[in-house]
Chains A and B, each alone.
Chain A
Amino acid sequence: MRRNLLLGLLVVALLAFSVSTLFAGAQREAAEREIVLTWPSIWVGQDSKADVMEEIVNEFNQQHAGRIRVVVEPQPDYDGYEDTIRTRLAARRPPDIFTFKLSPTTAVYYSGDLLMDFSADLGRDGWGDTFNQGNLNASTMGGATKSLPYEIGFTPIWYNTELFARAGIDRFPQTMDEFWEACEKLKAIGVVPTSQMTGGTNSWTSMLWYTHFLGSYGGPDVWERAWDDRAFEQAAAIIKRLYSDGNTTRDAIGADAGVSSGHYMNERTAMFINGAWFIGRIRDDAPDVYRATELAPAPKAGNYHGHQVGWLHTNLAAAHTDDPARREAVVTFMRHLTSPENAKRVSLAAGSLLAVEFELGPQDQLDPLQAKFIEAGNQAEFLIDHMEASMPVDVVYELGQALGSMVLEDRSPREFVQMLQAAEN
């Protein structure tokens, strides 16, 4: 009896399975005449760019119906996405279209002929001129542009003007003395000054704090300097103090980005750092904090002031192909995606900042906080890359550990820098 039941289940499952594979096969066949480009994309699901990206891809597919079809394969989990791309590149089968973060670690993707080189196409009909030239140069190595700059990361310091006012602080601190004074005032009214974190893969919030102060000590070219440059140590000393004396929450060591941003949204902390992509979240979940938020550059710690942390966040890439028709199809799609009008749509709809330049008209509705982002970007004296864009992945991982070591084991800022340096090999 029971065995019959099990066998029955098995037969049903196998039948359902073969039917479903047949169905999938039929779909594949119908699509054979046109050029199909698959794009495993992270801009799906809950991502703020998901809807507008879907529209842009659908429009493209309509315009090129019967000739080119871009198929988006949703891959919303970012760590998993990076694992997949890395593995497929190692197996020498990159997806037709994909995105990655350009960093000293991933720069190696440029070697060999895995990726398509866009440099010749960028020279045609001024396509290359539509990009921010600094970003385009950063994406060109040895004359080859094997990925296109697309999304920009820009992360000023966020502060809660409500809490600042309550603590009797009338403007964002300009010097470190003012900054520490402000911290004391905030603590006096029971507010924790800053959100920090050492968790996740990159210690996100604290990595950005560190980069801000690094810029103040080391200036625009700080990442080109050697590890023994004083700036690395000086910025670390400030971070160490931010982790002591109640200047951050008790859970900062080990906290992840959710905890760090949660404290800011819950008005537990008064200062926090993140990019424009966080606007939607805070607007939905903590409208009061959203309205009270202003943006600022870091206080002057060293010789430099008024800079911001901004970097090339996402590059678009495609698999190299020897088939000219396929190549043309990829370029056609990339031109569509990076056209100024589509870039503008993405930027307005998702709050993203892009490496493609476009004009905003008076009728374009910007989110007020996003307008502040653009203003902060225009006012910045200079931009420096965040650590993740400038250092190998292993150093970025080590940051959280080195922070923990400096704070919990009372290591010196010098030893902190040595830990990072050791991780580079």
Chain B
Amino acid sequence: MRNLSSKSNRNRKWIVLFLTPVGVLFVAFFLYPIVFVTILSFMEWNGIEPMSFIGIGNFRYLFADSVFRTSIQNNVIWALSAALLQIPLALVIALILAREPRGWRFFRTVYFLPNVISLVALAMMWTALYNPEFGLINHLLERVGADHMTRNWLGEIETALPALIFSYQIYIGYFMVIILAGTLSIPKSFYEAAMIDGANVFQQEVHITLPAIRGIIITAGTLAVAFALRQFETTFLMTAGGPANRTPVMGLYMYRRMAGLTYGRAAATGVLIIVLGIVVLSALQRVFGKADAVEDARQ
């Protein structure tokens, strides 16, 4: 007993030492700015003159603004698209590649490449693809005689948001890489045993792979949802929130308030992005389970 407690005492020193670097950076680059932004969210500030306290005035303004309410709604749609579209697709592709079909390394590399390309260039390509005058999508539709289906994809109310979200699926490779790396740590012996029992491929995936990488899938899912919630560059570059205020997201709304020198409203938006993130992620955790710290993969 004595031995054990002295060991944990000795470890405590190391634990503190190992946590300190991240702790320091976290305090400087996350805690301090968050405190700053939170305080600012209760202030009126144009960035030049002194701040003045206005209570919940900024939040009241935001909820009274229909563009902001549309932004929240769009953010939820983006988050759901990440959880229900992006992650399942990434998972399917990762599972296929994990079985190392012919050329899988090539596929894995190419699938990830869109993540390397600058956002500006990607946005330009998509905007050009969707353009109704010279875009490739309408051109192909016309070729197959479906002229009635041609549209101004990013400029029409019904299609703008779906078109944006579709274009974002190009980043699936990011989450595929995470999941694929997760499958590498599953011992092969697990499958050998299953095979002796006569399990087919689908049964193996459902009973062995998925439980083993559940934690990684949830990690990838959390990241995907978080990225979708805070993304605004794709929207900014491709539709700038249009047409007719149909595609704004909270990040874009915040950026615009900064440009309009209403820093208090921008800060309040930032705070609400984080709050919405916590709400959406906890709701998803209820449905899909939690990425627990120690529990998984030791079964």
Q: Is the CB of B132 within 8 A of A251?
A: yes
Give the CA-CA distance A108 to B258 in the complex, in Å.
Answer: 14
B residues in contact with A105, CB < 8 Å: 260-261
B residues in contact with A409, CB < 8 Å: 157, 244
B residues in contact with A109, CB < 8 Å: 48
Q: B71 an interface residue at 8 Å Cβ cutoff?
A: no
In the complex, residue of chain B having the shortest beta-carbon distance to the beta carbon of A115: B48
B residues in contact with A400, CB < 8 Å: 240, 242
Give the CA-CA distance A263 to B243 in the complex, in Å.
Answer: 20
Give the CA-CA distance A105 to B240 in the complex, in Å.
Answer: 20
Which of A125-133, A198-206, A218-226, A293-301 is the interface stretch? A198-206
* Complex partner residue of B156 from A86, A259, A408, CB under 8 angstroms: A408
Q: Is the CB of B155 within 8 A of A253?
A: yes
* Complex partner residue of A200 from B47, B49, B154, B240, CB under 8 angstroms: B240
Q: A36 an interface residue at 8 Å Cβ cutoff?
A: no
Q: Chain A 231-248, CB within 8 Å of chain B: the 1/0 string?
A: 000000000000000000
| Contact residues of B between 262 and 278, Cβ < 8 Å to A | 262-263
Give the CA-CA distance A253 to B244 in the complex, in Å.
Answer: 9
Greatest chain B CB density within 10 A among A83, A199, A251, A400 is at A251
In the complex, residue of chain A having the shortest beta-carbon distance to the beta carbon of B263: A90
Known contacts being A86-B47, A89-B48, A249-B133, is A199 close to B260, with CB within 8 Å? Answer: no
* Complex partner residue of B259 from A114, A393, A404, A405, CB under 8 angstroms: A393
Give the CA-CA distance A47 to B183 in the complex, in Å.
Answer: 51
In the complex, residue of chain B having the shortest beta-carbon distance to the beta carbon of A395: B260
For this complex, 27 residue pairs linking A to B, each with C-beta atoms less than 8 Å apart, are: A82-B259, A86-B47, A89-B47, A90-B47, A105-B261, A106-B261, A108-B47, A108-B261, A112-B48, A114-B48, A198-B242, A201-B240, A253-B152, A254-B155, A254-B160, A254-B239, A254-B243, A256-B127, A268-B133, A392-B260, A401-B67, A404-B155, A405-B245, A408-B156, A408-B157, A408-B243, A409-B244
> Which residues of A pack against B, CB within 8 Å?
82-83, 86, 89-90, 105-106, 108-109, 111-112, 114, 198-201, 249-256, 259, 263, 268, 392-394, 397, 400-401, 404-405, 408-409
A-B CB proximity, top 6 nearest:
A254-B155, A253-B155, A404-B243, A90-B47, A405-B244, A404-B244
> Which residues of B pack against A, CB within 8 Å?
46-49, 67, 127, 131-133, 152, 154-157, 160, 239-245, 256, 258-263
